[in-house]
Structure 1
Amino acid sequence: MEIIMDKILHLTADDYLHVGHDIDYFFSDCHDHEDFFEVLFVVRGRALNVVDGDIQIVENKNAVFIRPDDVHYIKPFPDEKSQFEFFNLKIPSDIMQEEFAKCKVLEEKIFSGELPSVVCFDRTEFGVMCAHALKYSEQKDSDIIGYLYHGLVTELLSSLLYCKSRVDTKMPDWFVELLCYIKSQDVGSLTYEDILNKSMVEKSYLWKSFKKYMNTSPTEYINIMKLEKACELIANTPMSMTEVAFEVGYNSYSYFARQFKSKYGYSPKELLKNNGNTDAGE
């Protein structure tokens, strides 16, 4: 998938597909989109999407549906050291109206929330979506371009329709600050107690807040972060699988491997092989 990401980030912009590399360019003043929808795909890093004063976090493997009337801007995630890289897809309002006519539930899904809807892809799903965007961008035949574009829009809207991994509710400041704190910590040593102490709220309220805003528990959120960090280490370092497991806070490689496969559908070794590295052992 990393190869696809790199290709995506070197695309030439056209009328409907744009790529962002420059943080200074993207972190801009408030604006809306008049007569089109914009879908922002976050390829690397994370940032804060500010819509009418409310905040939502957008991060790697997210697709964010920004509506024509959403007055918004993107600002840097506090203490974020990695580059924020993205590409976005422009969908004219008339095309969206055609889609809404086919499926009223889709229209409700997009317009029901105070904040733009977010699709949280897993690693494989996001790779497939980016691969399809890449095929569209590399095509020269205008008829095929139109066909691929509408296919990409349909696939993306279908993903939104069935997405259950994010509850699109505005986050209070204390929760945003807590997430910033979590992202800044060493995931290998981060514990539920650390999060609870930092939040300064009751345990039951913290749990309810995570379920409301992230659709998961605090403990599972930590586990997700551990596994995402493990993916980065496997893809970008020569560490063995056991070293990766210990680095992200697991005391047992076998338990780490089971958790990894449960989330991604393939083992750490399979990811290593897919990235073209067969030298690092268990």
Structure 2
Amino acid sequence: MGKIFKDDASVLVNDDPIGNEFHLCECGYEECRPTKPYEFIPIDYWVIHYCISGEGFFQILDKQNHIHPGDIFMIPPHTRNKYYPDAKNPWSYRWIGLRGTNVKKVLARCGLSPEHYVIHHKVDPQLESLFEKVYDHFQKDHELMALGSAYYLLDYLSNNVRNARLDHLSPGELYFHSVLNYIHKNYFNNITVSDIAAAANIDRTYVFKLFQKYMDMSPSQYLQHYRLDKACVLLRKSSLSITDIGYAVGFQHSPYFTKLFTQYMGVTPSEYRKEFMQFGGDDNFSSP
């Protein structure tokens, strides 16, 4: 087999983010030679690899995965990890590195989370092409095009690769996926844990067990946090009153919403909105 890339390896880095929510900080590729296993120093950003050819091994939290062509594996921030090529059939792969407050949520929609580091997938020319486009735009200093291509890549993972992965989930994972899907589509209604269990056709106790296993929190806590995250978006991006925002994300009583929001964010909804609006004002308008 001939060389896949022009060089054995290349890495591109951008340490000047446009914003703090989602930043494409790195991308690259490597055509590996057989090496001895060694542990990598934990990094402070997320990295998603796509294996193009060959084989290798990825170990994280003492769990080893055998990686084949088409597989995707993720390294989260501040996590010990080890990965290396198969000695007889060394792999080649592309990767992107991401920083930002929204990266974890975006990757979760792609089926990548602290509970699921690997997606076993088929060889996918479309996915390889998307990784390549990110690199090409990055290399040409087309920062916004590279960022757009990264979003396109992740959308492809979410709507194509992730759906294929659901066929290989355990019964518990499938139930949990169903529960999350119900919450995400109905969080603004006055839903309860019993409603969530009924929608998934499982017992309330089992719902609690699933959330403890996959989220280390109760379903009520997850629903509450999800609603408050949605409230943050509305406070930043809408002119709705605080009372209306509370109702819009599923809270029936405004004082209770304000109390929970203050506990969750460390500031009141009014203070949160004021900080954001003040930042926008200083950035875009001159003082009178």
Taking structure 1 as the reference length, what is the TM-score of the superposition?
A: 0.45
Q: Using CA pairs below 8 Å that are at least 6 residues apart, which structure has the higher relative contact order?
A: 1
* Larger Cα-atom Rg: 2
